[in-house]
Copies of this chain bind each other. A is one copy, B any other.
């Protein structure tokens, strides 16, 4: 049970300040993926403050991560400065596994978060020794693939459809019944769904007008009428 040394933790400034618009999606990131944070591999939990970079694009992918508390965005800034968010990770989710040796996206803490960090090499040798672990890794990747496929479908839909799907997915992942505690700011949602912050805001207002949701505060959303939302989630 090695206590891990965490050296690629770039603690400096937030790399960039949230700029423009992105992409979205969020299917179930599976509990099944418990190879990180299992007793065998448990690493030390590390805290990250709001907007802190966990790892950067193109840096060596030497560690694998699991969210204990808080939330994480995986993102990339394009040539022209537009930011895209590829995925959000919530408590229980594992992220940062790459087949490549380098990360293809950056990871940042959305709010103050605690993350368990495990050496990739440790996980890999475990997989080499244990076919079951190897299989779970494959299953994990396949599940992420499915999520991306859903995301691709989502991104050619209308703003209402994207937002509705996003809310339903978020509720599911947070195991929220009626009221969602939205973990990320509007700009992140916009950059995830490939819309602007103004469109997110207006769409939420529309959904409220249609009585599909209620907005007690900007970070709280009540799903009053799941059917109405599901109908949009073609």
> Does B134 contact A234, Cβ atoms closer than 8 Å?
no
> How many chain A residues touch B (Cβ–Cβ < 8 Å)?
35
> Does A104 contact B146, Cβ atoms closer than 8 Å?
yes
Q: Which residue of B lies closest to A99 (CB)?
A: B142
> Does B153 contact A152, Cβ atoms closer than 8 Å?
no
Indicate with 1 or 0, residue by residue over A138-173, a CB within 8 angstroms of chain B CB atoms.
110111111011011101100000000000000000
> Does A194 contact B141, Cβ atoms closer than 8 Å?
no
Q: How far is the CB of A83 from chain B (nearest CB, A)?
A: 11
A128 contacts B by Cβ under 8 Å = yes
CA distance A156 to B76 in the complex (A): 13
Question: Can you list the 7 inter-chain pairs with the closest CB atoms, starting with the nearest?
Answer: A156-B194, A148-B148, A99-B142, A138-B138, A155-B155, A79-B234, A145-B145
What are 30 A-B contacts defined by CB distance under 8 Å? A21-B156, A23-B152, A23-B155, A78-B153, A78-B234, A79-B234, A80-B234, A84-B152, A84-B153, A86-B149, A86-B152, A99-B139, A99-B142, A104-B146, A104-B149, A105-B149, A131-B131, A134-B134, A138-B141, A141-B141, A141-B145, A145-B145, A145-B148, A148-B148, A148-B149, A148-B151, A151-B152, A152-B152, A155-B155, A155-B194
